Amino acid sequence: WLRPGDAGYNAEAAYNAACVVGLVRAGDGLAARQLLNEPGVRQVLLDHERLLSTIGEPGGLAYLEREAGKWPCPECRNDRVVRTVVDRQAQYRLCPACNGNPGPSLSDDAVILQLRLEARLLHGVQRSWAAQLAADHGLPLDDPDADELSKVLGFDSRAFIFKDGGWYREDGTQPGPISPFAPKPAEGEAPPGDTKPETPATTPEETASG
Ligand SMILES: [Zn+2]
């Protein structure tokens, strides 16, 4: 149900839609409501709202509109502190309504879903050079070793001779299970399947490399 591409969206509407998500999260409901009224923003959010749900449910736009209407904090107007006068002295204490942290309370999963939506709307910042530099200082990609790859995929790259319905190594032995998930043989015990074939002599006519 997710659209394969966002090419049809106005870049400004997509940017504003991403900003709405962040502003609502920060409790800046006034700015979020202003951006929601910019052209195309609601439509972009409506088309992507299922990204805000772990199971792809709709309702994301309604949620953002609802939360944008609740904030700023009715008690401190996002000042995070409230002023009281005690003995003619002004005192400040943490806002009891928002606990100094305006915006909806979100689980870690909900924050991740919002960041995923924002990344999507901003055309996948994780694909940019700048994002890679920020994440890992531009480390080169891992160059997989062919031997390591064969272990991960669960086959023995040295067993390239197909004979009598099975794969054999050049020395005539047959590989045992080498899947990383296969049970490890007990110490001193030959791995199962890692046995010498009954006819060790291998003539070129019988082999076919694979
Ligand atoms: Zn408050």
DSSP letter at 50 equals G
Q: Which residues of 168-194 are buried (b: 16+ CB within 10 A; e: fewer)?
A: beeeebbbebbeeeeeeeeeeeeeeee
Number of domains in the chain: 3
In a shared domain, residues 2 and 41: yes
3-state secondary structure of 104: coil
In a shared domain, residues 123 and 175: no
pLDDT average, residue stretch 136-147: 68
pLDDT at 194 over 70: no
The range of the structural domain enclosing residue 82 comes to 73-104
How remote is the CA of residue 110 from the centroid of ligand 1, in Å? 22
In a shared domain, residues 118 and 54: yes
pLDDT computed for residue 157 by the predictor:
80
Residue 22: closest CA among 13, 31, 10: 31
In a shared domain, residues 42 and 120: yes
How remote is the CA of residue 73 from the centroid of ligand 1, in Å? 5
Confidence of residue 186 (pLDDT cuts 50, 70, 90): low
In a shared domain, residues 10 and 28: yes
How remote is the CA of residue 102 from the centroid of ligand 1, in Å? 6
In a shared domain, residues 27 and 3: yes
* Alpha helical stretches, state H, 122-154: 129-136, 146-153
pLDDT at 129 over 70: no
Question: Which two structure tokens, joined as six digits, stand for 113?
Answer: 């879903």
> What ipTM describes this predicted complex?
0.98
In a shared domain, residues 184 and 125: no
How remote is the CA of residue 22 from the centroid of ligand 1, in Å? 18
In a shared domain, residues 92 and 161: no
How remote is the CA of residue 57 from the centroid of ligand 1, in Å? 31
pLDDT in tens, 2-16: 444 444 668 888 999
Question: Of 77-81, 122-126, 203-207, where does mean pLDDT reach its minimum?
Answer: 203-207
Cα dist. 70→56, 63, 104 in Å? Answer: 24, 11, 9
Instruction: Mark which of 141, 158, 189 sits at the end of a domain.
Output: 141
